[in-house]
Amino acid sequence: MDPEEPLTLSRGAGRVIRLEVAYDGAPYSGWQVQPSQRVATVQGALQDAVAKVTGRRAEVVGSGRTDAGVHAVCQTAAFRTDSSIPPERMAAALNTYLPPSIRVLRSRLEEDGFHPIRDAIKKRYRYLLSDGHPADPLLAGRVWTVLRRLDLDRMIQAARHIPGTRDFAAFQSAGSPRVSTVRTIFDLTVTPLDWPRIDRTPFLPLHRRIIAIEVEADGFLYNMVRSIAGTLAAFAQGRAGFENPDDMAAVIASRDRARAGATAPPHGLYLLGALYPGDTL
């Protein structure tokens, strides 16, 4: 191989290094490098850091190609390198050259042939939304604040119809068609989260509540979690066409994107992580 040619996971000398990466998606145009545009991406920042640390460019492959504004608590990534740097020290070395909005949490040696997308058994996402008003500036860019009150019980009732192996075409946005729209959702939870409350102040009683929607599946369609979040919000608000939470079953069965709710904005979405053979929870 030409020493100037970038190393890829599929070919080349050296070892495969697995990374666990957290990032704030707000400053970036998503995970994937966009060669035709001069825009900052998470993948691009990581590849630049790898080149500075190892002296050679390499493709950094992630478990999910998160969209612009989407965050990651733990994105699994991997790259191939012929560097002699110990794998467990690679995280600290890369962080030296990464912006504060991207941190490599851990690094380790992985088996040759490992692929973060192909080998993932399941992935888990969290979507955060709030109906607090006025909107909390500390949550800006982190949580979707909706304008109408959310009924948590209605949201939970609608969510019960989602888990299982089903055709989830109703939750797929246009733009990235798949051969099959059947996926298995292993777990879906709707949980209120604690948030610092300031309603004890005598002059400023405010409502503050964050709701977390977590979805774990063997794979996801384009904008699937954001579409689920938008549909659950519509049922929680009792919007027209979403008055009965049990109608969620009919929405899924329709396979019609127009029957589901709006796609929730990207800034409330977090990739929590992916599970691989041999991993322990």
Which residue of the set 67, 82, 151, 167 is catalytic? Answer: 67
- Measured CA to CA, the distance from residue 60 to residue 45 in angstroms comes to 10
- 249 burial (CB, 10 Å; 0-12 / 13-18 / 19+) is middle
Q: Cβ distance 268 to 142 under 8 Å?
A: yes
- Measured CA to CA, the distance from residue 187 to residue 164 in angstroms comes to 8
Nearest CA to 267 out of 139, 159, 155 is that of 139
- Measured CA to CA, the distance from residue 47 to residue 107 in angstroms comes to 15
Amino acid at 208: R
> Is 67 among the catalytic positions?
yes
Residues classed as catalytic? 67
